Amino acid sequence: MHPMLNIAIRAARAAGNVVARSFENVDKIEVNAKGTNDFVTNVDLKSEEIIIETLRKSYPDHSIVSEECGQLPGKDSDYQWIIDPIDGTANFVKGIPHFAVSIALKVKGKLDQAVIYDPIRGEMFTASRGKGAQFNSVRIRVKAHKELSGTVIGTGFPQNAKASSEAYFSILSSVFAKAADVRHAGSPALDLAYVAAGRLDGNFQMGLKPWSTAAGELLVIEAGGLVTDFVGDHNHAKSGNVVAASPRLLKEMLTEMRPHLTAAMKK
């Protein structure tokens, strides 16, 4: 195992243990609004603190980007950790047991290591660039569907892109008409991990932040899938509009989406 992946796993487990213990006493979780329909809890902050402390202990010069604390520059800018201490905070707050700790590492701008940890189920998804993706240390692959028929597709309502909600629901309707079913589970990181593991056949979401997608993107790629924006380009880290699936299924998803895209979605 790559030493940096090992440290990321250690950080995810330590943070996940705190998150899982806190989940047993949901009534004691302190919740604050940081924006419209956007929440942060004291447990998010504690999880983030544990992750950063663990990473900095081994790699004090690396830079960090995290959902709650933002940018933490380091002396060695070639290495950047991207952290979501609880991906799926709304689920966590409501007592819905579906959320994850997400940690990714970029080396010279390229995704290099990834960890997504579900502390409730004890499920660890990991990937190293060029080395494949694993679920609890067992190799995983995306499902190689050629068409939408018979598939289960994950998505998420566009909380951070409500101006495009009409176009989004048109896309959803078009995809749903051809797929077997659609799921909205509330954790983009786990959605992407599930695509990598073959639990979901594809996923599309709007307005996501890099800390929600970075680890999942590498997982999907290393599991044999593709990740693009809504027009098939690689602007998803900037736009936040993400499509993930096996190569042939992704092509069909993009074809179904294309007639409904607004100008903003194409950027």
Q: Model-level pTM greater than 0.85?
A: yes
pLDDT at position 117: 98
What kind and span of H or E run contains 111?
strand 110-118
My answer on whether 156 and 129 are in the same domain is no
My answer on whether 178 and 84 are in the same domain is no
My answer on whether 111 and 192 are in the same domain is no
My answer on whether 156 and 127 are in the same domain is no
Q: What is the mean pLDDT of residues 147-153?
A: 97
**Gap between the Cα atoms of 135 and 163, Å rounded:** 36
Contact 88, 44 (CB under 8 A): no
Q: What is the pLDDT of residues 8-59, one digit of tens each?
A: 999 999 999 999 999 998 777 888 776 655 667 899 999 999 999 999 999 9
pLDDT at position 1: 77
pLDDT at position 31: 83
My answer on whether 121 and 204 are in the same domain is no
Q: What is the mean pLDDT of residues 61-69?
A: 90
My answer on whether 103 and 49 are in the same domain is yes
Average pLDDT of every residue of the chain: 93
Question: 237 or 225: whose pLDDT is higher?
Answer: 225
pLDDT at position 129: 97
pLDDT at position 38: 63
**Gap between the Cα atoms of 50 and 119, Å rounded:** 15
Q: What is the pLDDT of residues 166-223, one digit of tens each?
A: 999 999 999 999 999 999 999 999 999 999 999 999 999 998 999 999 999 999 999 9
Question: In which domain, by residue range, is 218 found?
Answer: 152-266
